[in-house]
Structure 1
Amino acid sequence: MNASSKARLESVRTVGIPVTDQDRALEFYTEVLGFEKLLDTPLPQLGGRWIEVGLPRSATTVALVPAGDGHPAGVDTGIRFTTEDATALHTDLAGQDVAVDELLAWPGVPPMFDFRDPDGNTLYVSEVRSAQA
């Protein structure tokens, strides 16, 4: 097989977040964070359901997978979301009793912060200005 015929990765489709209560997680991700439920189907092999949620303008989805042995909840997911206004989102989430950390705004660096979902999974947000700004 030569270099031009090798299979290549093309994109990130779905990232999984382990949760202890899929209904509670689904409510948080849709009602608080604004995700849309895309798929919710029983999957006994996982000990629960396969739930995918997505943001309106994103091709990458988030799977809310049952936590278990080897997949504990309360982890640093490493997932970084973007927003056009980090200050407003930080204020909004804090006002909804979401566990948010300090809004960081250093010169020359986009404003950013991290927060935790109801299971304590850490997620990150950074500001990305729109193309029209």
Structure 2
Amino acid sequence: MKIRVISIPVQDQEKALQFYTEKLDFVKKVDVPLSESNRWLIVVSREEQEGVEILLEPAPNHFEPAKIYRKALFDAGIPWTQFHTDNVQLEYERLINLGVEFSVKPTEMGTVKIAVFDDTCGNNIQIVEML
């Protein structure tokens, strides 16, 4: 068994695509219309384009339990997912210069260094560096 796709719920797919490609430097891999307002929208790491894919999935706003859960995670500062980086400090500085807002600045926690940012689409995302 392998991990091929992870899903990140987003409030606006177009806004998410812009953030994930322009700020995080991911690459759009798949963009297939599913309905008038939804797409099968996949981005991947520029460095590992055949690696794990991220589905920027429309948030299920019509399903109240999911909406409540996402908001509770965000309000509590809990990351939806995390991405690996070789240097959290450098990535933090690059993203700050692009206007990305962080709720947790680079912080060492045992064998890792982490930082947490707002993806502007309803999620906190954590970046992690193994020390």
Same fold by TM-score, threshold 0.5 exceeded?
yes
- Alignment gaps of 5+ in structure 2: none
In the alignment, does 2:40 pair up with 1:40? no
Report which of the two structures shows the higher radius of gyration computed on alpha carbons. Answer: 1
Q: In the alignment, is the contact (CA less than 8 A) between 2:8 and 2:80 conserved in 1?
A: no
Q: How many residues align?
A: 118
Match of 1:57 in 2: 48
Q: CA deviation at 1:90?
A: 0.8
Deviation at 1:42, TM superposition (A): 0.4
What are the superposed Cα offsets for residues 2-30 of structure 1, whole Å, 9 maximum, x if unpaired? xxxxxxxx111111111122111101101
Structure-2 change in CA distance of 1:114 and 1:77 (3 Å): closer
Compute the TM-score of the two structures, normalised by the length of structure 1. Answer: 0.77
Larger fraction in helix: 2
In the superposition, the TM-score normalised over structure 2's length comes to 0.78
Deviation at 1:120, TM superposition (A): 2.9
Contact 2:112 2:130 in 1 (8 A): yes
Q: CA deviation at 1:87?
A: 0.3
Following superposition of structure 1 onto structure 2, how do residues 1-133 of structure 1 map, counting pairs within 5 Å? Answer: 10-44=1-35, 47-55=37-45, 56-57=47-48, 59-67=51-59, 68-70=61-63, 71-72=66-67, 75=74, 76=78, 78-100=80-102, 101-106=104-109, 108-128=110-130
CA contact (8 A) 2:80 2:123 kept: no
